[in-house]
Amino acid sequence: MADPYATMLERIKDVGRLSAIEALLDWDQETYMPSQGVEPRAEMMAMVAGMRHEQATSSEMGDLLGQLTDDDGSDPIRQTNIRETRRSYDRSVKVPNELVKELTHTSAMAMEAWAKARSESKFDGFAPHLTKLLDLKRTQANCIGYDDDPYDALMDEFEPGVKTADVATLFAELRQRLAPIVQELAEARNKPDFSILERHYPQAEQEQLGRGFVEAVGFDWQAGRMDVSVHPFCTSMTSKDVRLTTRYDEHYMPCAIFGLMHEAGHGLYEQGLEVEHRFTPMGQATSLGIHESQSRLWENMVGRSKPFWECNYARTKELFPKALGDISMDAFYRAINTVQPSLIRVEADEVTYNLHIVVRFELERALINKQLEVADLPDAWNQKMKELVGIKPSNHADGCLQDIHWSLGAFGYFPTYALGNLYAAQFFAAAQKALPNLEDQIRAGQLMPLREWLAQNIHSHGMRYGAAELCEIVTGSALSTDPFIEYVEKKFRPVYGLD
Taking the C-alpha atoms of residue 217 and residue 427, their distance in angstroms, rounded to an integer, is: 17
CA nearest neighbour of 470 among 450, 456, 483: 456
Give the global pTM: 0.95
Q: Which of 30, 84, 263, 350 is catalytic?
A: 263
pLDDT the model gives residue 487: 98
pLDDT the model gives residue 14: 98
Which sequence spans correspond to the domains of the chain?
4-145, 164-495
Taking the C-alpha atoms of residue 108 and residue 115, their distance in angstroms, rounded to an integer, is: 11
pLDDT the model gives residue 70: 67
Q: Supply angle C-alpha 102, 107, 111, rounded to 5.
A: 160
Phi-psi region for residue 489, left (φ > 0), alpha (ψ -120 to 50) or beta?
Answer: alpha
Is residue 238 classed as helix, strand or coil in its secondary structure? Answer: strand
Taking the C-alpha atoms of residue 29 and residue 118, their distance in angstroms, rounded to an integer, is: 16
pLDDT the model gives residue 72: 66
Helix spans in 280-414 (H): 288-296, 306-319, 321-324, 329-336, 353-368, 377-384
Q: In what order do the strands lie in the sheet with 224-228?
A: 224-228, 241-246, 234-238
Q: Supply angle C-alpha 95, 370, 109, rounded to 5.
A: 55
Taking the C-alpha atoms of residue 68 and residue 83, their distance in angstroms, rounded to an integer, is: 10
pLDDT the model gives residue 362: 97
pLDDT the model gives residue 468: 97
CA 269 to chain centre: 12
Is residue 62 classed as helix, strand or coil in its secondary structure? Answer: helix
Contacts of 27 (CB under 8 A, 6+ apart): 235, 243
**22 has catalytic annotation:** no
Taking the C-alpha atoms of residue 329 and residue 313, their distance in angstroms, rounded to an integer, is: 6
With residues binned 3-state (H G I as helix, E B as strand, rest as coil), the percentages for the chain, rounded to 5, are 70, 5, 30
| Fold classification of 164-495 (topology level) | Neurolysin; domain 3 (1.10.1370)
Per residue of the chain (499 residues), give pLDDT as tens.
589 999 999 999 999 999 999 999 999 999 999 999 999 999 999 999 999 999 999 999 999 999 998 666 789 999 999 999 999 999 999 999 999 999 999 999 999 999 999 999 999 999 999 999 999 999 999 999 999 999 999 999 999 999 999 999 999 999 999 999 999 999 999 999 999 999 999 999 999 999 999 999 999 999 999 999 988 999 999 999 999 999 999 999 999 999 999 999 999 999 999 999 999 999 999 999 999 999 999 999 999 999 999 999 999 999 999 999 999 999 999 999 999 999 999 889 999 999 999 999 999 999 999 999 999 999 999 999 999 999 999 999 999 999 999 999 999 999 999 999 999 999 999 999 999 999 999 999 999 999 999 999 999 999 999 999 999 999 999 999 999 999 999 999 999 999 8
